[in-house]
């Protein structure tokens, strides 16, 4: 039995195919830009060039499920990546990218959705993989793209793990990123030992690792999320579970659902002046709430929690509760009001400012997370903690007493409350509204 097993394994290893012959660029072609690629000492060298957008050396063939391995060595000044299951549309290469990032950010082996959704798997939560990068020398990359799951490794360290449904197949491509200064022209990135396996993957995929998996399939709960206690707070299709903060029905205007996205419609920018805020029908006590949001230019909205719709049911005005502020800090005037930036994106509105250096991704969906565990509350943005506070104590009450909320009895101290999405008369998109009760 043992010998038979060995034979199968050796047989499976034999299925690797080289994508690069070590001598020339047969099987590859340049798309998207005009940076140059050449073969040097058995490696492909990509050379940064002024005045061109991102350039890609793509495989002529397309690949669906595969395991891909390659070596890379990159100039410290460049950013790069390797496209997976990608396509050329409207002259641009789009799709999953194995990030190559020698900068201090160190997000190599993260997954970026090139010219489409942006960061699918940033590396903020995986310091082990961040420190696995080798500067100014060869790194070994591995990708497993099997069905709706893509996993990456960097020098043997598990790096990224996503579920996604956008592309089942496409080409592989080596990126030479656009450069924006004369000093960065003519710099090089090298790839070699590029090999792929498309058969017998069931014998070659690596075991489960301990890293976090990110489910990028909109408005779904993955197996792992379900096992971990996550539930959809919005089904992606209907208004089920939500109502106006002013009554039992969902607002008949001001909101619509479109391709799995819940849209607050543009009106006159007034607070709850069009369709009005919406709240969950249920109340929540201890939870992790995760909401993806995308704002339009100059927009204002917010995610509130510990909301009691009874205490501000008069016409107009948003319902009262702790607010994770959603704002275009650059263009909305409220960003300059308040105290110490406590009305900017991610802040506990009018109370505790989020740091200015937050990882906001302009033009993309961003993930807001609110953690409530008894009196302890945290605000997160894209996997980075922005702020935390304790409520139901002298300091919280003293802070509230200075704020807009000073006249609301017991503000923020309720044991439980509804969750609210705010209509502030600006177009804002929401999706992937999920909750894990603690």
Among 179, 279, 352, 428, binds a copy of itself (CB under 8 A): 352
156: its two tokens:
């043997």
Q: Are 309 and 319 in contact (CB under 8 A)?
A: yes
Among 197, 384, 387, 419, binds a copy of itself (CB under 8 A): 387
Contacts of 336 (CB under 8 A, 6+ apart): none
Helices (H), 308-404: 394-402
**415 phi, psi to nearest 5 deg:** -70, -35
Distances in whole angstroms, Cα of residue 241 to Cα of each of 48, 248, 273, 286, 418: 52, 11, 22, 18, 11
Query: What dihedral angle (degrees, nearest 10) is formed by the CA atoms of 373, 413, 232, 311?
Result: 180
Here's the x/- map for a copy of itself, 295-334, by CB under 8 A: it reads as ----------------------------------------
Considering the complex, what minimum distance in angstroms separates the CB of residue 352 from a copy of itself?
Answer: 4
256: its two tokens:
């619509």
Instruction: Tell the residue number behind the tokens 């009262």, with chain if given.
Output: 320
Classified as helix, coil or strand, 353 is coil
Burial 172-202 (b: 16+ CB within 10 A, else e): bbbbbbbbeeeebeebbbbbbbbebbbebbe
Considering the complex, what minimum distance in angstroms separates the CB of residue 372 from a copy of itself?
Answer: 15
Binding of a copy of itself by 388 (CB under 8 A): yes
Alpha-carbon span 267 to 273, nearest angstrom: 8
Binding of a copy of itself by 340 (CB under 8 A): yes
Binding of a copy of itself by 337 (CB under 8 A): no
Between residues 366 and 403, which has the closer beta carbon with respect to a copy of itself? Answer: 403
Binding of a copy of itself by 353 (CB under 8 A): yes
Binding of a copy of itself by 409 (CB under 8 A): no
Here's the x/- map for a copy of itself, 226-255, by CB under 8 A: it reads as ------------------------------
Stretch that binds a copy of itself, among 69-77, 97-105, 159-167, 348-356 (CB under 8 A): 348-356
Binding of a copy of itself by 393 (CB under 8 A): yes
Total of residues contacting a copy of itself (CB under 8 A): 22
Q: Are 136 and 76 in contact (CB under 8 A)?
A: yes
Binding of a copy of itself by 288 (CB under 8 A): no
Binding of a copy of itself by 372 (CB under 8 A): no
Considering the complex, what minimum distance in angstroms separates the CB of residue 430 from a copy of itself?
Answer: 25
Between residues 172 and 399, which has the closer beta carbon with respect to a copy of itself? Answer: 399
Among 342, 366, 382, 422, binds a copy of itself (CB under 8 A): 342
Binding of a copy of itself by 6 (CB under 8 A): no
Among 337, 401, 410, 438, binds a copy of itself (CB under 8 A): 401
Which 184-213 positions form the footprint of a copy of itself (CB under 8 A)? none
Q: Are 56 and 173 in contact (CB under 8 A)?
A: yes
Between residues 273 and 359, which has the closer beta carbon with respect to a copy of itself? Answer: 359
Binding of a copy of itself by 165 (CB under 8 A): no
> 318: buried, middle or exposed (CB in 10 Å: 19+, 13-18, 0-12)?
buried
Q: Interior CA angle at 232 toward 228 and 235, to 5°?
A: 155
**377 phi, psi to nearest 5 deg:** -130, 140
Between residues 401 and 438, which has the closer beta carbon with respect to a copy of itself? Answer: 401
Alpha-carbon span 148 to 144, nearest angstrom: 11
Binding of a copy of itself by 398 (CB under 8 A): yes
Judged by the rule CB under 8 A, the positions of this chain that interact with a copy of itself are: 339-340, 342, 348, 351-353, 387-390, 393-399, 401-403, 406
């Amino acid at each position: 039995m043992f010998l038979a097993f060995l034979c199968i394994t050796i047989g499976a290893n034999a299925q690797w195919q080289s994508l690069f012959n070590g001598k020339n660029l047969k099987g590859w072609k340049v798309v998207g830009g005009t940076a140059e690629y050449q073969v040097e000492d058995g490696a492909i060298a990509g050379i940064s060039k002024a005045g061109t957008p991102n350039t890609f050396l793509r495989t002529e063939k397309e690949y669906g499920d595969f395991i891909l391995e390659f070596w890379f060595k990159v100039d410290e000044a460049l950013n790069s990546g390797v496209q997976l299951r990608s396509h050329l549309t409207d002259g641009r290469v789009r799709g999953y990218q194995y990030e190559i990032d020698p900068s201090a950010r160190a997000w190599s082996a993260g997954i970026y959705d090139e010219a489409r959704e942006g960061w699918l798997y940033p590396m903020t939560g995986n310091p082990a993989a961040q420190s696995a990068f080798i500067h100014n020398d060869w790194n070994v990359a591995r990708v497993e793209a099997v069905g709706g799951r893509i996993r990456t490794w960097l020098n043997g360290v598990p790096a990224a793990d996503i579920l996604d449904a956008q592309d089942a197949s496409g080409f592989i491509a080596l990126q030479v990123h656009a450069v924006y200064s004369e000093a960065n022209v003519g710099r090089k990135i090298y790839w070699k030992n590029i090999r792929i396996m498309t058969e017998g993957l069931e014998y070659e995929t690596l075991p489960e690792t301990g890293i976090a998996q990110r489910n990028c399939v909109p408005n779904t709960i993955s197996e792992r999320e379900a096992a971990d206690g996550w539930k959809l707070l919005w089904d992606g299709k209907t208004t089920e579970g939500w109502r106006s903060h002013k009554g039992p029905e969902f607002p008949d205007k001001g909101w619509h659902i479109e391709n799995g996205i819940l849209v607050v419609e543009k009106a006159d920018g007034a607070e709850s002046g069009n369709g009005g805020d919406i709240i969950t029908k249920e109340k929540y006590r201890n939870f992790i709430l995760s909401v993806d949001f995308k704002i339009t230019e100059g927009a204002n909205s917010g995610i509130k929690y510990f909301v009691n719709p009874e205490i501000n049911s008069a016409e107009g005005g948003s319902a009262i509760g702790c607010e994770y502020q959603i704002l275009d800090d650059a263009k909305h005037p409220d960003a300059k009001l308040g105290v110490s930036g406590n009305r900017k994106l991610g802040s506990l509105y009018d109370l505790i400012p989020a740091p200015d250096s937050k990882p906001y991704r302009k033009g993309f969906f961003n993930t807001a997370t609110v953690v409530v565990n008894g009196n302890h509350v945290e605000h997160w943005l894209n996997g980075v903690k922005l702020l935390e506070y304790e409520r139901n104590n002298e300091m919280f009450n003293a802070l509230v007493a200075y704020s807009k909320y000073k006249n609301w009895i017991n503000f923020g101290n309720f044991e439980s409350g509804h969750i609210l999405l705010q209509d502030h008369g600006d177009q804002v998109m929401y999706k992937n509204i999920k909750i894990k009760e603690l």
